[in-house]
C-alpha cells in the first residue's frame, strides 16, 4: 500500500499485474478477504484500490488491443506488397525466359519501371 503514484497511468505494469493476482485470490477467499481487499481508500491509492487497479488494467488492455490491430493492419499491407513483388518477379522470370538474350535487360528495366510507377501511385 502506498501513495507513491498520483495517477493510475504511473503505476508500473508489474505492480498492476501483482495486484490483479491479489484481487483474484481475494475473490475466492471469502467475504472477509473480499471486504479487506475491495475497499476504496481516502485518499485513493492508485496501486492498491481495486477499482483503480481494475480500471487501469482495462485501459491498458484496450490500448494493447488497439496497438495489436494496428500491427496486424501493417502486416497485412506488408504481405500485400510482398505478393506484388512476387508477381513482378514471376513476370520478370517469364520475360527473361521468353526473350532473346539481347533484349532481356531492356525489357526487364521497362517492366520494373512500370511496376514501380504503379506501386508508387497506390499509397504503399
Determine what percent of the chain is predicted with pLDDT higher than 70.
Answer: 85
Q: What domain range includes position 69?
A: 8-120
17/114: higher pLDDT: 17
In a domain, 3, yes or no: no
How many domains does the structure of the chain reveal? 1
Q: How far apart are CA 112 and CA 95, in angstroms?
A: 11
Mean per-residue pLDDT for 15-31? 92
Decide if 46 contacts 11 (C-beta within 8 A): yes
| Domain presence at residue 2 | no
Q: Is residue 92 part of a domain?
A: yes
Cα distances (angstroms) measured from residue 39 to each of 15, 18, 28, 51, 72: 18, 17, 16, 9, 39
Looking at the domain assignment, is residue 1 inside a domain? no
pLDDT tens digits, residue range 40-78? 888 888 899 999 999 999 999 999 999 999 999 999 999
Write down the pTM of the prediction: 0.65
Amino acid at each position: 500500500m502506498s501513495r507513491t503514484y498520483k495517477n493510475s497511468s504511473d503505476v508500473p505494469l508489474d505492480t498492476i499485474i501483482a495486484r490483479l493476482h491479489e484481487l483474484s485470490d481475494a475473490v475466492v477467499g471469502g467475504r472477509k478477504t473480499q471486504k479487506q481487499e475491495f475497499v476504496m481508500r481516502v485518499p485513493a491509492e492508485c496501486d492498491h484500490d481495486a477499482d483503480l487497479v481494475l480500471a487501469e488494467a482495462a485501459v491498458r488492455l484496450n490500448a494493447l488491443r488497439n496497438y495489436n490491430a494496428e500491427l496486424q493492419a501493417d502486416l497485412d499491407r506488408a504481405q500485400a506488397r510482398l505478393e506484388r513483388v512476387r508477381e513482378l518477379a514471376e513476370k520478370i522470370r517469364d520475360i527473361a525466359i521468353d526473350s532473346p538474350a539481347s533484349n532481356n535487360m531492356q525489357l526487364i528495366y521497362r517492366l520494373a519501371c512500370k511496376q514501380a510507377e504503379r506501386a508508387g501511385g497506390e499509397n504503399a
